[in-house]
Structure 1
């Protein structure tokens, strides 16, 4: 088996034990990148020379008998919207193409500290504000399973890279589904971490501050092909940075919940359309867990429809007062059209309504935490529909359908909770899939359940792009 086909856990072991070198691993992944990336445009900046130099340094460290970090020599990718020293944080925006970061964001620094070798930067929509990965600077990323549908967004390049074997770990971030939706669309694993689990800010913009919605909801997380790699990547990414006042120094493994663990499944999400294939996927995930000893109930968590409305009220108001004027000046036409449709469908609110929405969110979070005392795990579809066709969001009607499908993806960010997307079943060329949610700082429960589902469904293997 070629080295690019291994997951990060096995590849790190091969490098650590001398059965493969970091240089061989990097060369293998770069060869795979050059073979498949032209068909999908997932990686938009290839760091070939730097990656090979990093690999040589890694091999020299091993030869000298140094203690090796957990991702020593493992090739990974980072997303174009996080600072990486010496490279542009362009976020898919033409006027930012020469905006060079002077230092690494914490998540990039943590990957490097863990020994990972960064081989490239993955694509995102302009300002990372769509579930379609397309921008005027880098062009469109295609879904390797079906190029007619979105690879998801905003971390669509990351999801497509992992699906095709361009490294075993791809960094992404998530404020409304941007890790979990690409994982679903590309048929891979994606972990949206909970609030404050991974330190998260760009040094290039830290002093200006962020809207409160982004402070509460935006997190970092990995795309992988195996659940064990998601666990490994989480541990690497979560190393602390005290400049982020939100960062939590808490154990990766929480206290065991009462046994048997109860799971609430939500096959049909209130408030809109539910595709039968996604309904089936949720029920199938429940069957996999039930067979492993979990107790599975089909029961609704509190006030799902209202939670979706609160996400829109908070985020639309943030965007309308901040990013929207910048997008109109600097964004690409499709990004502007997409955001215009969103702002027409969900209006910005006045200050008293905004403050009331934040207060109501707090009450909803208490109700969810009470619910999760009885059902520590909740399983919903990632999207309630199949992946939409490319550029479906540039009309108001199309955007309405897209936002309707996104309903279940908005709950975890609204409440600051972790969510693990895993493939379950298939529909034509595509994988169907679910997201597993739990309480804050309980990514471990999501990952444990994800491994049970993965054992029943089979481990994701890299694919060649569809013609």
Structure 2
């Protein structure tokens, strides 16, 4: 057995706790100790819930002693992104406006994790209101990748990715409206899955339909594919207050052991339209052979999405701006004045991106919908011939804080999101994961695996087959 439970997977901890090899208190104490020892390194956690975690651990031990039925995550520590609510714990959303806000109830997927026996040990960092694919805010500051804390961890679930990559916690779900699960997974060397839209319910209020613009969903982040699948089984399923939620389709954990001999995979590092650093490309071209060794067929194919990367990003921004402006309206309904007196309390990036942005007209919004439709049709054509599409997650490796790239291999890009290949799947609602594929100069590279809507099991099966042939568990930094 590994000497410290902090180095054991979530699935391994659940088994060890059921077998009496670890107690929930022993596990939680070890995790909390590691968080307090190392969090200053990456700044992954905004809040550490020592008292709550120890109280939940004691309850978990009592359940074992009483012979009560144990859930699939009984005694397993979990960290929650600071956009989502844990009853009695503050949810800052990375904003000074909510620095002292305490949640009155659990978000639905948090309640499901608790019901499965998971123990909440804290809240992970996120950019203000989750806006950004890097993680920095005026409440907690920036979060760095464990491989080089002077460099970004990705976002907006950057705290979750860093917490996993530094072995502070075995499970740390995030949310993804444009890459916010997959980019941190790529930059922190962990596994992250954006499931099909609606698989994990998102009860958003006052606007239940906010996640439509663009498609946003919660998703698992973990150090192993098995752990992600196990937590997805717990979080998935329809919810009456989420109009986009869908019924659970089978057990995702079962896909981890499934062979992929019959899968046909299209490989396109850049989707034919995105700039990708040559070293990242080389890393992916070396890694993709693992699918072939696992029995799958791999062909080099570029999808025809009907638009170039700039047009897709413009459509994404048009739709996202509608959602962000709605966020400002919601803040005003809560008594804040983000466009006036409270403007100085917002991060300048948020002000530039949202508060000062021109609101799209309804005609511009519907034109963006047409772009979205062409992307959907292009994906449908590709997935009419192939089961999965494998690409880069990001066109670059983690860069220093505050130094967003303005070009890749001499090609000028939009610095804030022009270096990620994730937005198309938020426009279509399809499942997409980022899996560790290797390193460039000691920095992790993520490989994106996408499938048809509701083919989450195919994405998980391929991810697990890749992991068996190219395991990354011993690659995390240790100091």
TM-score (normalizing by structure 1) = 0.90
Distance 2:179 2:471 in 1: 24
2:75 corresponds to which residue?
Answer: 73
Of 85, 91, 94, 1:92 maps to 94
1:362 aligns with 2:385: no
SS at match of 1:452: helix
- Unmatched tracts of structure 2, length 5 or more: 330-336
In structure 2, what is the equivalent of residue 432 of structure 1? 445
CA deviation after TM superposition for structure 1 residue 459, in Å:
3.3
Which residue, 403, 413, 423 being the options, matches 2:426? 413
Tell me if structure 1 keeps the 8 A contact 2:178–2:426: yes
CA shift, 1:33, in A, is 0.9
Matches within 5 A, 1:51-450: 51-202=53-204, 206-211=205-210, 213-214=212-213, 216-252=214-250, 260-303=262-305, 305=308, 306-320=311-325, 322-323=327-328, 326=338, 330=342, 335-337=347-349, 340=352, 349-393=360-404, 400-406=414-420, 408-450=421-463
| Structure 2 CA distance for partners of 1:272 and 1:348, relative to 1, 3 Å | farther
SS at match of 1:425: strand
Asked if structure 1 preserves the Cα contact closer than 8 Å seen for 2:41 and 2:149, the reply is no
Aligned residues: 460
More off after superposition, 61-70 vs 309-318: 309-318
Q: Deviations over 1:360-384 (max 9, x none)?
A: 4235324422321211100111111
Secondary structure in 2 matching 1:140: coil
- 1:252 touches 1:441 (CA, 8 Å); kept in 2? no
- Is 125-134 or 180-189 further displaced after alignment? 125-134
C-alpha deviations, 1:98-148, integer Å up to 9, x for none? 222211111111110111000010011111112221111112222211122
- 1-structure distance, mates of 2:127, 2:405: 13
For the Cα contact (< 8 Å) 1:198–1:220, is it kept in 2? Answer: yes
Instruction: Name the SS for the 1:78 alignment partner.
Output: strand
**Structure 1 unaligned blocks of 5 or more:** none
RMSD (CA atoms) = 2.9
Instruction: Tell which deviates more after alignment, 274-283 or 347-356.
Output: 347-356
Q: Secondary structure at the match of 1:67?
A: coil
Structure 2 distance, partners of 1:450, 1:327, is 44
3-state DSSP of counterpart to 1:405: coil
SS in 2 for 1:422: strand
Report if the CA contact (8 A) 1:165-1:462 is conserved. Answer: no
Distance 1:412-1:434 versus aligned 2 partners, 3 A rule? same
**1:189 and 1:226 in contact (8 A); partners too:** yes
Structure number having the greater helix percentage: 1
With normalisation by structure 2, the TM-score equals: 0.88
Give a deviation string over 1:131-185, Cα, whole Å, max 9, x none.
2211111122222111221011111110000011111100210001111101111
Residues in 2 aligned to 1:355 and 1:91: alpha-carbon distance in whole angstroms: 30
Most deviating of 312-321 and 416-425? 312-321
Q: Name the stretch that deviates more: 107-116 or 331-340.
A: 331-340
Q: Is the contact between residue 95 and residue 346 of structure 2 (CA under 8 Å) also seen in structure 1?
A: no
Q: Does 1:40 align with 2:52?
A: no
1:195–1:416 Cα contact (<8 Å) kept = yes
The secondary structure found in structure 2 opposite 1:293 is coil
Q: SS at 2:149's partner residue?
A: coil
